[in-house]
Structures are given as C-alpha cells and as structure tokens.
C-alpha cells in the first residue's frame, strides 16, 4: 500500500496509515462518487419536481406533483410542507399562520430531525451546488482565507434573524435569503437573484472557505440545532481508524470530525455535520459509514484501545 521509499507510519490502532487513492477504473471512481452523485440527483430532482409542476404542469393521477417552492409547498395537492425556520420567523412577526403551514412545518421538522438536520443542506438546498463548486475550485487553486471567522457566528445570525423579525415585522431572513432567491428564480422567473448567488460563490471561493454554508447561513444553523436529535448519522468505527486525516481534508465542517468525540460517541454526533458523506467516500479504512443512531452501540472509551474486528463493508 505505501510506497517502499516512504517511512511506514502507523495509526493508534497499530495499523499502517494508508492515504486515500482514487481508483483508476471508472467503476471504482463511480463507487467513490456514488454519494456525491446521489446528492446531486436528489438536489436536482427536487428542483425538477418544482419546475416541472409549475412550468410544465406535471401531474400524477390528476394531482399536481409539487406546487410552491422550498419555503412552502404542497405534495400531490394534499400534503403541506413548509420551511420550519421561515414559519418560525413569520410567527415572530406576530402573525399566527394557518394550521396548514404549521402542519407543513411540523412534517419537515420531524423529517429532518430523523434524517439529520443539516441533511437538508447537503441533499436539498440549491445553494449547496454553488458552494460545493467554490470549495472544489478552492482546493484546486489552493486559495487561502482572507480572514478568520468563528463558525459559531451562524448562531448569532440565527438569533438576529429572529430578533429582527420581531423588530421589523417581516420575516428577516426570508426577505434577504439568497437560497430562496435562487430557488424562486429558477422556478418562476429569472431576475437579479443570481447576483446574490454570485456573491456567495465569490465569497466562498476567494474570501473564506465554506464562508456561507459553514459560517453565516442561519438556516444551516437552525438545522444544525435540529440535527442534535438526528437519527441518521455518520457512524465511526474507532478500532479501524488510523488517523490518516483524509476525511477532514474534504469535510466542509471539519470541526465535527473530532476523533476523540467520535470515538466516545461511536459516530459524528455534532449537529453541524450535514451527512454529505464526503468523508465516507474517501475513508480508506471504511471507518466512517452511515448508521442509524439507535443502532450504534456506544463504545466505552476505555475499551476502544483494543482493535475490534473490522465490520464487513
């Protein structure tokens, strides 16, 4: 595995540290990319359902497939869905929405509470494709940050969005959200919303790595808080990990890959993890795998020094 000239490093489990090697075969590459491709398929698929229903009148059994947009929508003309953060902001303005919206927000809230909070960010949010492109280019061009910003600032932005909704009487984030702007204009009519998206792209590319999604976005912060209840998590199989660090190199939220905490919990427990699965794809030891939280047997930290039998892939 390691080239003969290189000194052999070993991980804390005594195994040699192997780097991630992109397979040469197309099938092997496809396997590495399968989560990425699935994410793109879901992101574009959700967008397509909206566009198809609004612009081309897609129906199933005589019912419109998905009307509205990610702020609030209706599935098959029956099931209301709503952005719980937008709903919360509207309630902060002092307006009590109809039950339909509250029900829709509750459905989405439960859905992402089970599926992992920021799973929304990596699997549905249209801005993700933009910021992923920034991050990819940034790695290629090796651009350094202009300044440092705490990743916790997003929680301040979240609090501000709620406070400003009370003070100004409008849903503060919804009125400036580049996410909604992009999504709306893709579905309904193209306007100048793309300039906000370009701003995010440039900010992420040249100014701050993961600047928008990882530092500022209050919607991501909202889902990060919800993600603490998440059932779908990236499981962490402590004995197989060699601390090679491949996962943290690609992770858009590398602070969640605290291996000590991961070993103690048996998973990546932080709500800031967006279940994007990049770490899973590049982990050379298959230490990281999607797991259901209640199925994860939390190992006692004192026992984890003993290498466990590696799970079958």
Partner 1 sequence: MDKPAITRRDFFTRVGQGAALAATGGLIWSYLLRQQAQATPYAIRPPGALAEADFNASCIKCGQCVDACPYDTLKLATADAGIPIGTPYFIPRETPCYMCEDIPCVPVCPTGALDQALDDIDNSRMGLAVIDIENCLSWQGLRCEICFRECPLQGRAISIEHHPRRISKHAMFVPLVHSDACTGCGICEKACPTEKAAIRVLQADLVQGEIGDHYRLGWTIDSPITQDFKAATDAAASSAPATGLDYLNEGAP
Q: Which positions touch partner 1 (CB under 8 A)?
A: 53-54, 64, 67-69, 71-74, 80, 82-83, 86-87, 90, 93-95, 97-98, 100-101, 104, 153, 156-157, 159-160, 163-164, 167-172, 174-176, 180-181, 184-185, 187-193, 195-196
Least distance in angstroms from the C-beta of 184 to partner 1: 6
- Least Å distance, CB 93 to partner 1, is 4
Whichever of 67 and 289 has its CB closer to partner 1, that residue is 67
Place of tokens 């790595």: 209
Residues 209, 200: Cα–Cα separation, whole Å: 11
Return the number of the residue (92 or 282) whose C-beta is nearest partner 1: 92
CA atoms 21, 27, 31, 35: torsion sign: positive
| Cβ-based neighbour number of residue 87 at 10 Å | 22
Integer Cα distance of 97 and 91 in angstroms: 7
Residue 1 or 190: which CB sits closer to partner 1?
190
65 Cα distance to chain centroid:
25
- Residue 275: alpha-carbon gap to chain centroid: 6
Of 133, 132, 110, 120, the residue nearest 71 (C-alpha) = 120
Min separation Cβ 306 and partner 1, Å: 25
Q: Where are the beta strands (DSSP E) in 121-236?
A: 232-236
Shortest separation between residue 127's beta carbon and partner 1, angstroms: 15
Nearest distance in Å: CB 64, partner 1:
7
Q: 23 or 199: whose CB is closer to partner 1?
A: 199
Taking alpha carbons only, the member of 172, 150, 4, 11 closest to residue 88 is 172
Q: Please tell me the distance from the alpha carbon of residue 29 to that of residue 294, in angstroms, as a whole number.
A: 32
Nearer to partner 1, 89 or 240 (CB): 89
Q: Which is nearer to partner 1, 69 or 131 (CB)?
A: 69
Whichever of 84 and 117 has its CB closer to partner 1, that residue is: 84
Query: Closest distance between partner 1 and the C-beta of residue 203, in Å?
Result: 15
Min dist. Cβ of residue 214 to partner 1 (A): 17
Tokens read off for 188: 């309904």
Q: What is the dihedral of CA 101, 107, 111, 114, to 10 degrees?
A: 120
d(CA 312, CA 29): 20
């Amino acid at each position: 595995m390691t080239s003969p000239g290189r000194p052999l490093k070993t991980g804390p489990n005594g195994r040699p540290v192997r780097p991630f090697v992109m397979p040469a075969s197309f099938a092997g590459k496809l396997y590495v990319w399968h989560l990425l491709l699935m994410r793109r398929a879901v992101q574009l698929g959700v967008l397509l359902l909206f566009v198809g229903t609004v612009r081309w009148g897609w129906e199933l059994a005589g019912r419109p497939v998905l009307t509205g947009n990610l702020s609030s929508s209706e599935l098959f003309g029956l099931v209301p869905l709503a952005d719980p953060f937008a709903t919360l902001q509207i309630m902060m303005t002092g307006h009590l929405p109809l039950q339909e919206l509250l029900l829709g927000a509750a459905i989405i809230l439960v859905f992402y509470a089970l599926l992992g909070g920021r799973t929304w960010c990596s699997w549905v949010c249209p801005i993700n494709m933009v910021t992923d492109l920034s991050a990819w280019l940034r790695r290629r061009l090796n651009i350094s940050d202009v300044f440092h910003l705490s990743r916790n600032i997003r929680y301040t932005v979240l609090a501000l969005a709620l406070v400003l909704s009370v003070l100004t009487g409008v849903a503060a984030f919804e009125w400036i959200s580049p996410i909604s702007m992009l999504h709306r204009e893709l579905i309904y009519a193209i306007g100048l919303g793309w300039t906000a998206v370009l701003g995010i792209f440039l900010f992420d590319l040249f100014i701050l790595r993961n600047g928008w999604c990882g530092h500022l976005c209050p919607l991501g912060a909202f889902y990060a808080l919800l993600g603490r209840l998440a059932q779908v998590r990236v499981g962490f199989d402590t004995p197989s990990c060699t601390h090679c660090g491949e996962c943290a190199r690609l992770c858009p939220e590398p602070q969640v890959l605290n291996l000590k905490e991961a070993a103690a919990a048996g998973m990546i427990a932080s709500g800031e993890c967006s279940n994007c699965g990049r770490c899973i794809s590049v982990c050379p030891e298959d230490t990281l795998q999607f797991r259901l939280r209640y199925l994860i047997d939390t190992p006692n930290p004192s026992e984890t020094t003993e290498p466990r039998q590696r799970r079958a892939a």
